Amino acid sequence: MPLLVPEQSTFPLLLSWGTVRDAKAAEPPKKRQYKTPVERAIFAMAANRALDPMSKRGVEEWVKEDVVIPGVEEIPLQQLYRAMNFLLENEAELQKQVYYSVANLLNLEVDILYFDTTSTYFEIEDEDEDGGLRRRGHSKDHRPDLPQAVIGLAVTRDGIPVRCWVWPGNTADISVVEQVKKDLIGWKLGRVITVLDRGFNSEDNLRCLQRAGGHYIAGEKLRSGKENTVQALKRGGRYQTVRDNLEVKEIVVGNGEARERYILVRNPEEAARDKARREKIIKELEEQLPHIKTHAKAVCELMAHPVYGRYLKVDSRSLPKIDRAKIREEEKLDGKYLLRTSDDTLSAEDVALGYKQLLLVEDAFRTLKSRLELRPVYHRLEDRIRAHVLLCWLTVELRSDRNNKGSKGCNHISVGNRWVYCRQRELWGHFNPL
């Protein structure tokens, strides 16, 4: 029996489908006239991505044979592609209206915004030419041999996606912060603290985030060699225990306009793991080094090794030996990470706990890649790829855990059905199971 996909309940972004219709109606006469049921086609592709992810050709068959979607009996593949074109043409406005709809439904106040990027690869041999999307770069999927695209995602403290971005695969994290800030201007987010990982940290980016009264919490690279970072790590003082396995120490470096506020965070359990890992590496080195005599290639490979090389130096005979001073320096960093913030109103505990919530973005990326099967991407054209990512982003809204005031009373229901329950209760006044 075909599965009924209810218009009122299955998809949380129904409140935004009016935006799709309004945008379609507001198009200037010069633009193409759509005879395709654009909103129904977008709804069908998003619902499919949430329930049974497949290619767009598969969606055509899915709509015709497997489900009942009110308003349509079938949607030919070409109409799905036209709907994707429309989706991309209205990308910025649609994402904004989706955010407004969800924020209004859940009574959200966005005071902290988490941003991070990931990559998704394409199983092809050749990358696109200059200016193309599918390019080789730093792969977060550990596939540097394949072309990829970079995907950015901003989420709230409740794990609710706000906006997504797609960049060429050779885009560096540090280069995208200004665009993210610019694209969110006018979104009525209020006074926002943006939380960033170490890869986005540059002085220009941090200044950008402070425009219009904004603030930041940013990770600092412990081994960057920056003067202020070195001073912060050397500064004495006691740690304050704020949670199990979480200790913090506040450090201020400089005075006046040059003043910088740092929070040094230590996890005792992670410190023990760091020590155990290092001792294992040193033991392996002690077993290997006696067998290396004069073989230049073996020496070069060992010194350049990303794990072993950190603890080695060359002796007077140009042979590697264990650097005991380096080991002592590394011991001082066990279980620690350094944060920097521009907001003096946040306590050291709030800064540390706020940064730890960057895991929310990682959860959203895991949803994109696993449950919603972002990959494999069956499209070749750049616009199709961008529209595919946007569809996946829309569907992440369905799977997001609304564990807050807006979803009170829904916590006993699985994430996949929570919005079904909440929307049914809102529209019909009682729970009517599917």
Of 22-36, 74-88, 201-215, 365-379, which gets the smallest average pLDDT?
22-36
Q: Which residue has the higher pLDDT, 114 or 191?
A: 114
Q: What Cα–Cα distance (Å) separates residue 45 from each residue in 61, 75, 395?
A: 12, 10, 9
Q: Which residue has the higher pLDDT, 273 or 189?
A: 273
Q: What Cα–Cα distance (Å) separates residue 136 from each residue in 127, 132, 171, 366, 387?
A: 7, 11, 9, 21, 21
- Mean pLDDT score, 264-277: 96
Q: Interior CA angle at 132 toward 127 and 138, to 5°?
A: 60
Residue 218 has pLDDT above 90, yes or no: yes
Residue 266 has pLDDT above 80, yes or no: yes
- Report DSSP letters for 207-221, one per residue: HHHTGGG-EEEEEE-
Cβ atoms 376, 134 nearer than 8 A: no
Residue 424 has pLDDT above 70, yes or no: no
Tokens read off for 253: 């470096």
pLDDT tens digits for 159-182? Answer: 888 999 999 999 999 999 999 999
C-alpha R_g of the chain = 26
Q: Which residue has the higher pLDDT, 400 or 246?
A: 246
pLDDT of residue 212: 77
Residue 33: pLDDT band with limits 50, 70, 90:
low
pLDDT of residue 160: 85
Distance CA 218, CA 193 (A): 10
Distance CA 149, CA 269 (A): 36
Distance CA 124, CA 143 (A): 12
pLDDT tens digits for 285-309? Answer: 999 888 887 667 888 888 999 999 9
- Mean pLDDT score, 96-102: 85
Residue 23 has pLDDT above 80, yes or no: no
> Tell me, what DSSP letter sits at residue 329?
H
Q: How many CB atoms lie within 10 A of CB 210?
A: 15
pLDDT of residue 398: 65
Distance CA 418, CA 405 (A): 13
Residue 411 has pLDDT above 90, yes or no: no
- Mean pLDDT score, 121-149: 92
> Tell me, what DSSP letter sits at residue 203?
H
pTM for this entry: 0.81
Q: What Cα–Cα distance (Å) separates residue 392 from each residue in 7, 44, 118, 367?
A: 19, 12, 14, 9
Question: Facing residues of 119 across strands?
Answer: 150
Residue 7 has pLDDT above 80, yes or no: no
* DSSP-derived 3-state class of residue 30: coil
Positive or negative: CA dihedral 53, 90, 166, 148: positive
Residue 399: pLDDT band with limits 50, 70, 90:
low
CA atoms within 13 A on the CB side of 54: 14
Q: Which helix (H) or strand (E) holds 422?
A: helix 415-428
**Sheet strands (E) in 106-231:** 112-121, 148-156, 161-168, 193-196, 215-220
Cβ atoms 404, 360 nearer than 8 A: no
- Mean pLDDT score, 194-201: 92
Residue closest to 374 by CA, chosen among 386, 382, 383: 386
pLDDT of residue 158: 82
Cβ atoms 250, 238 nearer than 8 A: no
What single-letter amino acid sits at 74? E
In percent, the amount of the chain with pLDDT more than 70 equals: 83
Q: What integer best gives the mean pLDDT of the chain?
A: 83
Residue 422 has pLDDT above 50, yes or no: no
